[in-house]
Structures are given as structure tokens and as C-alpha cells.
Amino acid sequence: MKNYELTVLIHPDLEMNLDTATNKIKDLIEKNGGKIIKEENDGKKRLAYTIQGQDFAVYYYYELELPTEAPAKIEATLNITDEVLRHLLVTVDERKLKYEAKQAARRPRAAAADGEEK
């Protein structure tokens, strides 16, 4: 299983009832053998350019673990889903993850060292 990031732009008219759209996306991921690690609603934002006649969209961000055949199936389904204006599914750079984990491990030690010096 590889790590992926999925950003989905959901139709702004669904802002008050996002559950149906997000449940559809979650079901799609789980039916294809994926696992959602993290999910964030970044809210309604203005688009840089009009997409399907819309100037705004609700941004949703997911961190996923997917088997190798799943990304193609998920993208094909998201392309024909009415609630989704656009989506972007990319692999996560493993080197970046290791670097960020290393940096996070260093922070507590650095904070503890600062506390001892004072």
C-alpha cells in the first residue's frame, strides 16, 4: 500500500449538506481497498478561474493508503461524479515523510534543551 494525497473540490451548492458528497468519496475509497488516514475540510474558497460555471468550491483534503490498482479506479469514478468539480490524486514522496518525521522528533528535544538552559 502506498500513501496518497487527494484534494477534492466539491460543488458549492452542497456546502450546507456535505455529508452525502463526502460519504460517497469515503465509500469509493473503502470499496477500492483504501484507508483514510487524515481528512480535512478546508472550507469554501474562491476559485482562480471558473470551473463548470462555478466561482467557488468547497475544498476537501484526504491522506490515504491505497493498493496499486485503486488510484485509477478512484480517478475514473471521481471524473463522472456530479458533486465533484475537480480532484487531484498524487503520491506522497516517502523521502519528504521521513524528513518531516525526523524534524518532528528533533523539536521536542530542542524545546527541552531550551527549558533546561533557562
Cα 89 from Cα 91, distance rounded (Å): 7
The single residue listed with the C-alpha cell 487531484 is 88
Span 13-31, pLDDT tens digits: 998 889 999 999 999 999 9
Separation of alpha carbons 37 and 6, rounded Å: 11
pLDDT by residue (tens digit) across 95-113?
887 888 888 888 776 555 5
Angle between helices 70-79 and 19-31 (to 10 degrees): 150
Tally of structural domains, the chain: 1
> Does 10 fall in a domain?
yes
Range of the domain at 38: 2-92
CATH number of the domain enclosing 15: 3.30.70.60
User: What is the per-residue pLDDT for 104?
Assistant: 87
In a domain, 103, yes or no: no
